[in-house]
Amino acid sequence: MSARDGTAETLGAAIEAGRVADRVWLYSNYHCNLSCVYCLTESSPRAARRLLPPDDMIAAADEAVVLGYRALGVTGGEPFLTPGMPELLAALAARLPTLVLTNATLFTERLLDRLRPLADLPLTIQISLDSAQPEINDELRGPRNFAKVMQAIPRLVDMGIPVRIATTGDHNTAEEMERLCALHRSLGVDDDDHVVRPIVRRGRAVDGGLGVVADAKDLFPELTLTADGAFWSPFAPTVYEGRLDTDLLLTRQRLPLDASTRALLAVAESNPAGTDTTLNIR
């Protein structure tokens, strides 16, 4: 049995036991057209781009298949600021079901046309929406964000591309959350495709004292590759005051995925069962 076969076997058992995620996350870039108040990566139009080479993302996807991962995730920054993202997503989704996180503010007619072929692939687009009230959503996420999201979601749904809504933060009262849920249902997004998660106090959220403090034991282990290395979770490769946080770094080496997977498993298996995900942040 090769070393990689051994990694695949251990990974498969860890996934089945619910000790690590079956998804590999890829940080395509760190820059963004928005500057959300709670952004983990201090993303903004001026942020360092930290681009993950597309060839590395494809290589990671190929090896993810061999190792037995079952899904991919693409996040940033705003992934659709990088050239060729629709075509890259098609290549990734041809290998494994892929989830891409976006603010949905860049979906011009031209970009939507390039996304149309993705309806035939296992690709889901997850769009951030924090409130049913435009003024509250836009205060958190940026001017005119709400209106653009309201335009984008029906277009994607009509094209046959599955859409998920992600709401970050605990600012919504029960009544406001019900309004938000009624809104996403009206846009064609089911309750099962609406995720609500806390703000994690890293990146820009530190300055505002927002959200919850989370360490490795609080974050579900999900292998995450960035331009800077392999990390414990998509909540890990954060930036504060322009400096990359390394406290949840696994290895500087991204590929082969076998090596970073072994590092993830080594740390995950060193944690006693039941100590993970106490904050249920996924």
Residues 205-234 that bind other proteins (CB under 8 A): 216, 232
Least distance CB 266 / other proteins (angstroms): 7
Q: Is 263 in the site for other proteins (CB under 8 A)?
A: yes
Least distance CB 202 / other proteins (angstroms): 12
Residue 190: strand, helix, or coil: coil
d(CA 93, CA 270): 32
By CB under 8 A, name the one of 108, 151, 186, 246 that touches other proteins.
246
Q: Is 253 in the site for other proteins (CB under 8 A)?
A: yes
Least distance CB 44 / other proteins (angstroms): 22
Q: Which stretch binds other proteins (CB under 8 A): 128-136, 145-153, 163-171, 245-253?
A: 245-253
Q: Is 275 in the site for other proteins (CB under 8 A)?
A: no
Least distance CB 8 / other proteins (angstroms): 20
| Contact between 218 and 277 (Cβ < 8 Å) | yes
d(CA 220, CA 216): 8
Least distance CB 269 / other proteins (angstroms): 12
Torsion sign across C-alpha atoms 43, 250, 212, 269: positive
Q: Which tokens in the block code for residue 148?
A: 């653009």
Q: Is 91 in the site for other proteins (CB under 8 A)?
A: no
By CB under 8 A, name the one of 252, 275, 278, 280 that touches other proteins.
252
DSSP, res 255: -
Q: Is 151 in the site for other proteins (CB under 8 A)?
A: no
| Contact between 281 and 198 (Cβ < 8 Å) | yes
Q: Which stretch binds other proteins (CB under 8 A): 9-17, 33-41, 154-162, 243-251?
A: 243-251
Q: Is 88 in the site for other proteins (CB under 8 A)?
A: no
By CB under 8 A, name the one of 113, 158, 207, 247 that touches other proteins.
247
Least distance CB 176 / other proteins (angstroms): 35
Least distance CB 36 / other proteins (angstroms): 24
Of 249, 244, 242, nearest to 267 by C-alpha is: 249
The C-alpha torsion from 259 through 260 and 261 to 262, rounded to 10°, is: 50
- The DSSP element (H or E) to which 128 belongs, if any, is strand 123-128
Q: Which tokens in the block code for residue 238?
A: 């954060």
Q: Cβ of 227: how many Cβ atoms within 10 Å?
A: 18
Of 110, 59, 56, nearest to 80 by C-alpha is: 110
Least distance CB 20 / other proteins (angstroms): 13
Residues 6+ apart with CB under 8 A from 198: 168, 169, 170, 211, 212, 279, 281
Q: Which is nearer to other proteins, 110 or 243 (CB)?
A: 243
Q: Which is nearer to other proteins, 121 or 216 (CB)?
A: 216
d(CA 166, CA 137): 12
Q: By CB under 8 A, name the binding residues for other proteins.
A: 216, 232, 245-253, 259, 263, 266-267
